[in-house]
């Protein structure tokens, strides 16, 4: 393609990202991002992660990413959403380049389009700054580099950079291993294309070694950093808690689900047409290239592996959360675009129907877009009305219904503001709710190192919550209705030390006795 056309496509991608993500700036911070932001703020205040505050089952990548954002762009919600834009752009650009390099330019454009739209949908928490949104860039980049380095027989030491990207992914979440697994398998497959097997395996070992060095180096540096602070054992606790978290199969949307099935169920519900196209595309791409007969079969095998690994990672916890599906969006978009291209090429190659090929492609793309536009929360349309007419903030954001839990951003904002107005920055608060963004929004700290109420017994005794500096206990009665068994003796201590100060919808705010 000409350079002018390339720049037009790049500008189109950038402009589309800004347009479709504009509504996200009007949404209050979600609970996961709020928890990360709370820890990031403390990191910037000189308190390292895993010290006085602990992220439970997560590794440090996303927390130090947020801390960097706050350092550079300021400690606020919009800074995170602005910083996310180039990550979305980078991933979309990589999908375009992959499509153009391995198939054709129109496949790359369609893949980028699907990714941009689907990754912004609130049905998958696409309007948030969940870690999957950040991890998708190094994951996609690592897979792409692995394919290119093998297909073009690049120097062995370049696989070091695949390892680096793999380490970044793992530091976001330990199960994000797609670049390492895909590239490692490809290195082994590539040995069969050399007549001299001894030489081929020598090359493979060196490539794996370089990738291993790239993978291990950042992980060692991170371990040494926390070890020097005396916090390595506290970091390692994250793996034990992560195993417990992953083992849960209680899904808040669909109940008990078989292992690895969650992303298929959720995508089938909201984006069924694209899921069907992508699954057909993945099957066809793998079938055409497996078993590998030549080096040109590498991309098909790689993307097929990436598809399977991404869905396994998103569904490894039998009971998933909706943002897990974000991890599958890049490869889903790529394979969906590929299958549309296959359909159109088959029509184009039929002389009788050749003239209908572009029309069919347009119809399929339109139907995919229409599918998730109709079935997803239409946040963009509501945003337009919000800006153009006197539509309330509550009407814009809506009440996100997840099973029996109603998450209303306007209520959370009201609770946070009340606490901020009626307490001092040195006061502690404790929140009995999943909506732990209240800590960040109210700019108040927890008296213990965990902000998630169902994990507090792992690190502390119940009594530590009720220390003299804890001015407010905020209880979401919707949460406690289903989780009261996790709060032994809590209400006894609450009654002895606190009184009900006010209620805000389903929230009860208890204030410490003898405080002003």
Model confidence pLDDT, tens digit, residues 365-377: 888 888 766 655 5
Q: Phi first, then psi: give them for residue 250, nearest 5 degrees.
A: -90, 100
Q: How far apart are CA 350 and CA 329, in angstroms?
A: 32
- Summarize the confidence of residues 430-438 as an average pLDDT: 93
Model pLDDT, residue 406: 37
Cis (ω within 30 of 0) for the bond into 359?
A: no
- Summarize the confidence of residues 63-71 as an average pLDDT: 97
**pLDDT exceeds cutoff 70 at 395:** no
Model pTM score: 0.92
For residue 251, give the 3-state DSSP assignment: strand
Question: DSSP letter string over 433-482?
Answer: SS-THHHHHHT-B-SSS--SGGGGGGTS-GGGGG-TTEEEEEEEHHHHHH
For residue 136, give the 3-state DSSP assignment: helix
Q: How far apart are CA 207 and CA 101, in angstroms?
A: 23
- Summarize the confidence of residues 172-198 as an average pLDDT: 93
**pLDDT exceeds cutoff 90 at 442:** yes
On the CB side of 362, how many CA atoms lie within 13 Å of its CA? 5
Those residues with Cβ within 8 angstroms of residue 334's Cβ, 6 or more apart along the chain or in another chain = 95, 98, 99, 111, 115, 303
For 470-509, what is each residue's pLDDT tens digit?
999 999 988 877 665 556 678 888 989 999 999 998 899 9
**pLDDT exceeds cutoff 90 at 403:** no
> Which tokens in the block code for residue 432?
């009995």
Q: How far apart are CA 334 and CA 368, in angstroms?
A: 13
Alpha carbon of residue 257 to chain centroid? 21
**pLDDT exceeds cutoff 70 at 382:** no
Of all helices (H) and strands (E), which one includes residue 118?
A: helix 105-118
Those residues with Cβ within 8 angstroms of residue 306's Cβ, 6 or more apart along the chain or in another chain = 143, 178, 182, 331
Of all helices (H) and strands (E), which one includes residue 214?
A: helix 197-228
Those residues with Cβ within 8 angstroms of residue 351's Cβ, 6 or more apart along the chain or in another chain = none
For residue 229, give Cα distances in angstroms to 46, 57, 235, 323: 12, 19, 11, 33
Model pLDDT, residue 351: 66
**pLDDT exceeds cutoff 90 at 257:** no
At 401, the pLDDT band (50, 70, 90 cuts) reads very low
Task: Calculate what percentage of the chain has a pLDDT beyond 90.
Answer: 61
Q: 449 with 241: CB under 8 angstroms?
A: no
Burial level of 254, CB count in 10 A (0-12/13-18/19+)?
A: middle
- Summarize the confidence of residues 22-49 as an average pLDDT: 93
- Summarize the confidence of residues 244-273 as an average pLDDT: 76
How would you write 399-440 as a 3-class SS string?
EEEECCEEEEHHHHHHHHHHHHHCCCCCCEEEEECCCCHHHH
**pLDDT exceeds cutoff 70 at 383:** no
Do strands 498-504 and 507-512 pair parallel, antiparallel, or not at all (unpaired)? antiparallel
Indicate the length of the chain as a whole number.
516
For 81-120, what is each residue's pLDDT tens digit?
999 999 999 999 999 999 999 999 999 999 999 999 999 9
User: In 258-323, where does DSSP find H-type helix?
Assistant: 262-270, 272-289, 298-315
Judged by average pLDDT, the poorest of 64-68, 233-237, 365-369 is 365-369
At 457, the pLDDT band (50, 70, 90 cuts) reads low
Q: How far apart are CA 161 and CA 159, in angstroms?
A: 5
For residue 206, give the 3-state DSSP assignment: helix
Q: How far apart are CA 387 and CA 378, in angstroms?
A: 15
For residue 422, give Cα distances in angstroms to 193, 313, 417, 448, 506: 71, 43, 9, 21, 19
Model pLDDT, residue 330: 97
- Summarize the confidence of residues 414-424 as an average pLDDT: 95
């Amino acid at each position: 393609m000409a350079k002018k056309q390339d720049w037009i496509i790049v500008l189109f991608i950038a402009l589309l990202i800004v347009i479709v993500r504009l509504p996200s700036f009007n949404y209050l911070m979600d609970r996961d991002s709020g928890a990360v932001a709370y820890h990031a703020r403390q990191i910037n205040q000189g308190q390292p992660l895993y010290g006085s505050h602990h992220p439970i089952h997560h590794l440090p990548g996303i927390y130090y990413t947020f801390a960097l954002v706050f350092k550079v762009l300021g400690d606020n919600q919009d800074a995170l959403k602005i910083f996310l834009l180039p990550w979305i752009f980078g991933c979309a650009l990589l999908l375009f380049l992959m499509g153009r390099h391995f198939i054709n330019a129109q496949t790359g454009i369609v893949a980028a389009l699907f990714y941009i739209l689907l990754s912004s949908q609130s049905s998958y928490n696409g309007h948030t700054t969940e870690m999957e949104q950040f991890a998708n860039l190094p994951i996609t980049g690592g897979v792409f580099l692995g394919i290119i380095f093998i297909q073009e027989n690049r120097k062995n030491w370049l696989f070091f950079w695949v390892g680096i990207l793999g380490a970044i992914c793992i530091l976001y979440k330990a199960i994000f291993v797609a670049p390492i697994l895909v590239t490692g398998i490809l290195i082994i497959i590539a040995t069969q294309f050399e007549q001299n097997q001894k030489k081929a395996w020598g090359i493979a070992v060196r490539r794996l070694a370089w990738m291993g060095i790239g993978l291990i180096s950042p992980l060692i540096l991170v371990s040494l950093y926390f070890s020097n602070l005396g916090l390595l054992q506290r970091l390692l606790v994250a793996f034990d808690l992560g195993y417990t978290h992953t083992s849960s199969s209680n899904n808040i949307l669909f109940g008990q689900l078989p292992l690895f099935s969650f992303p298929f169920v959720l995508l089938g519900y909201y984006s069924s047409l694209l899921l069907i196209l992508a699954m057909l595309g993945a099957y066809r791409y793998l079938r055409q290239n497996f078993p590998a007969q030549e080096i040109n079969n590498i991309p098909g095998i790689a993307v097929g592996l990436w598809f399977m690994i991404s869905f396994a990672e998103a569904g490894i916890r039998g009971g998933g959360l909706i943002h897990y599906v974000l991890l599958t969006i890049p490869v889903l978009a790529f394979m969906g675009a590929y299958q549309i291209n296959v359909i159109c090429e088959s029509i184009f190659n039929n002389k009788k129907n050749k003239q209908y090929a572009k029309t069919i492609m347009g119809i399929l793309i339109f139907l995919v877009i229409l599918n998730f536009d109709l079935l997803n929360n239409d946040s963009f349309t509501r945003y337009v009305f919000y800006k153009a007419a006197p539509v309330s903030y509550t009407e814009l954001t809506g009440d996100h219904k997840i099973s029996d839990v109603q998450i209303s951003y306007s209520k959370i904002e009201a609770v946070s503001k009340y606490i901020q107005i009626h307490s001092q920055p040195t006061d502690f608060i404790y929140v009995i709710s999943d909506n732990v963004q209240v800590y960040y929004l109210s700019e108040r700290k927890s008296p213990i190192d965990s902000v998630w109420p169902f994990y507090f017994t792992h690190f502390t005794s119940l009594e530590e919550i009720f220390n003299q500096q804890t001015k407010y206990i905020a209880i979401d009665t919707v949460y406690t209705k289903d989780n009261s068994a996790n709060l032994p003796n809590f209400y006894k201590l609450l009654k002895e030390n606190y009184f009900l100060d006010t209620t805000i919808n389903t929230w009860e705010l208890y204030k410490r006795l003898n405080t002003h």
